[in-house]
Amino acid sequence: MADRGGSDELDEIEAALGFAFADVSLLQQALTHPASGTGAASLERLEFLGDRVLGLALAGMLYRRFPAEAPGDLARRHAALAGGRTLDRVGRSIGLHRHLKTDPRAFARPDDLPSSMVEDALEAVIGAVYLDAGHDAATAVVERFLAPLAAGAPPRDAKSALQEWAQGRGLPLPVYRVTGCEGPDHEPTFAVEVAVEGFPAVESRGASKRAAEFAAAEALLAIVDGGGRL
């Protein structure tokens, strides 16, 4: 078991998670970004694992909680809860942005960390919990934070809403085009443009092509239909 260096910050995160690590080195690794320059093992492998654990835990939770709901509605709930915006919000509520080890020259304040970094750290923490105590413990952590956000009607994702908006007006489907990619390999930023016939194209950015597409769709909806939530 690793020494609990910086135990106060680890205790704070464990208290927020409602989970105490037997092997605290897993939590330390989950809080180490590849850009930290410390030479320590980074969160990348844990993030890979945690992403899959999160997906399964959410799917099981939604399946049980909404027994009469159609698969499409469950999928929209899943996408919203597993999306970067939600994970960033949860990660910051736990305090991950304050304790994530990254390049100190790149970000003057913890609040300056991009949402993608906080999202990756949260998924890494979920992966760490899974390795430390198994599926049930990881599921409990996921449900602790995401179950309260699952209430209400199934959300409509921006891409679906924009497509429905265009079809409802007899317009061709929206066209998405990647216009650029910048940043290091471990933290890329994609630029995507979306266009609907008769309206100016809108460009947005995201940590993945998918995230950039959703951001672009949301931005165009805000222009053409006041948000497109009909």
Residue 146 token pair: 């995401």
Give the active site residue among 47, 51, 120, 193.
51
Residue 153 token pair: 């009607």
Task: Tell me whether residue 51 is one of the annotated catalytic residues.
Answer: yes
Q: Strands (DSSP E) along the chain, which ranges? A: 175-182, 189-195, 202-206
Q: Work out whether the CA dihedral 142, 87, 68, 71 comes out positive or negative.
A: negative
Give the active site residue among 47, 88, 120, 123.
123
The DSSP annotation for 94-153 comes to HTHHHH-B--TTT-SSGGGS-HHHHHHHHHHHHHHHHHHH-HHHHHHHHHHHHGGGG-SS
Task: Tell me whether residue 218 is one of the annotated catalytic residues.
Answer: no
- Return the active site residues: 51, 123
